[in-house]
Amino acid sequence: MCAYKPPSSSDDGFWFKTGLFALLAGLAFWIFQQFDSGKKETPLPRAEYPSASSAQCLVPDEILPTSTTGVIVHHTYYVSSYSEDHEQAEWVAYELRRERLQQPWVERSGAFRPDPQVRTESATPRDYSGSSYDRGHLVPAADMAFDATAMDETFLMSNISPQVRTFNGGIWRELEENARDWAKRMDILYIVTGPVLTRPGLGQIGFNRVTVPAAFYKVIYAPQQRSAIAFVIPNAQSDRPLMEYACAINDVEALTGINFFPRLLRSSDAHLKATVDKNLWPISSKRYERRLRQWNRE
């Protein structure tokens, strides 16, 4: 016959010690998880997401700017210079070709993930969670919609930078869409895009302390027309016309400390970096009106 037996004082001591040990173990595990989650967030095998080596990369070396970090990451259709201090690229460089833009678009990937090619480990999607900032593409996904691999690689976190939503979906979108119009008109463009990391930012986000840039730049060179234009735009909603942010390449070099197209533009081409002819880069007024009427309100 089994009868209820009140716990003895020795039993009380045993259960108290056991409970205390379990509590401390659980607390230690929670702390470890919080510390470890930033850089180890659901790592994906390299085999699942193959990235290009420099030998497989299809971006011509001569279009690359100088790097202030020395960390060059090659993917199939774009190259970047990664800044570990800011957990994002200081620039991405790629070709925008008419023939690629005229091909049917592949399905949008949407698979944001850390970049396995960054040896110091890139930011993670979780860094942006709850931040109110968009995961803004530096190489636009739409520029790479001609190929599944090209599209997929734009969702690597080394190609992502924190952007104000109405900037990303507003004036930055307008600039990207105009750039595609220019490529269709001029046949080929060499584009370098990045955040301005040499000026105070808007703070940091996430476990990895990703810098929120105060502005972004885009430098564009049309080799066949031997014409160039650049833009520096604050990371904020804007109602101003896009061309008010246009500038010469020299202005962006002075701001960022980066030398753009050093292998293409020699001293004899100094005028291409020092001036900009806005008339050679027509923009869509209807797109600007749509930004004011719709995109800035979304």
Average pLDDT score over residue span 237-263: 97
2 domain-assigned: no
Confidence of residue 236 (pLDDT cuts 50, 70, 90): very high
Q: State percent of the chain over pLDDT 90.
A: 77
191-226: buried (b, 16+ CB within 10 Å) or exposed (e) per residue?
A: bbbbbbbeeebbeebbbbebbbbbbbbbbbbbbeee
- pLDDT value at residue 40: 36
The one-letter amino acid code at 90 reads E
The values of phi and psi at residue 247, to 5°, are -155, 180
34 domain-assigned: no
* Residues spanned by the domain of 110: 55-297
Confidence of residue 29 (pLDDT cuts 50, 70, 90): very low
Torsion of CA 268, 270, 276, 277, to 10 degrees: -20
Going by C-beta distance under 8 Å and a sequence separation of 6 or more, which residues neighbour residue 124?
38, 39, 41, 113, 114, 157, 206, 207, 208
In the chain, the number of structural domains is 1
Average pLDDT score over residue span 257-270: 93
C-alpha span between 125 and 105 (Å, rounded): 25
- pLDDT value at residue 24: 55
The values of phi and psi at residue 175, to 5°, are -65, -45
Asked if residue 7 has pLDDT above 60, the reply is no
pLDDT per residue as tens digits for the range 32-77: 444 443 333 333 333 333 455 566 999 999 999 999 999 999 999 9
Comparing C-alpha atoms, which of 96, 265, 287 is closest to residue 186? Answer: 96
User: Catalytic residue positions?
Assistant: 137
- pLDDT value at residue 27: 52
Comparing C-alpha atoms, which of 90, 155, 158 is closest to residue 123? Answer: 158
pLDDT per residue as tens digits for the range 80-113: 999 999 999 999 999 999 999 999 999 887 799 9
CA-angle at 249, arms to 81 and 203, nearest 5°: 50
Helix H or strand E segment including 204: strand 204-205
Q: Which residue has the tokens 């379990």?
A: 22
pLDDT per residue as tens digits for the range 120-155: 889 999 999 999 999 999 999 999 999 999 999 999
- pLDDT value at residue 59: 95
Helix H or strand E segment including 37: none
158 domain-assigned: yes
- pLDDT value at residue 50: 43
36 domain-assigned: no
174 domain-assigned: yes
Average pLDDT score over residue span 18-25: 50
Average pLDDT of the residues of the chain: 86
163 domain-assigned: yes
Q: CB-hemisphere CA count at 13 Å for 268? A: 3
The CATH number for 259's domain is 3.40.570.10
pLDDT per residue as tens digits for the range 198-222: 999 999 999 999 999 999 999 999 9
Which burial class, exposed, middle or buried, applies to 143 when counting CB atoms under 10 A from its CB (0-12, 13-18, 19+)? Answer: buried
47 domain-assigned: no
pLDDT per residue as tens digits for the range 159-189: 999 999 999 999 999 999 999 999 999 999 9
- pLDDT value at residue 110: 79
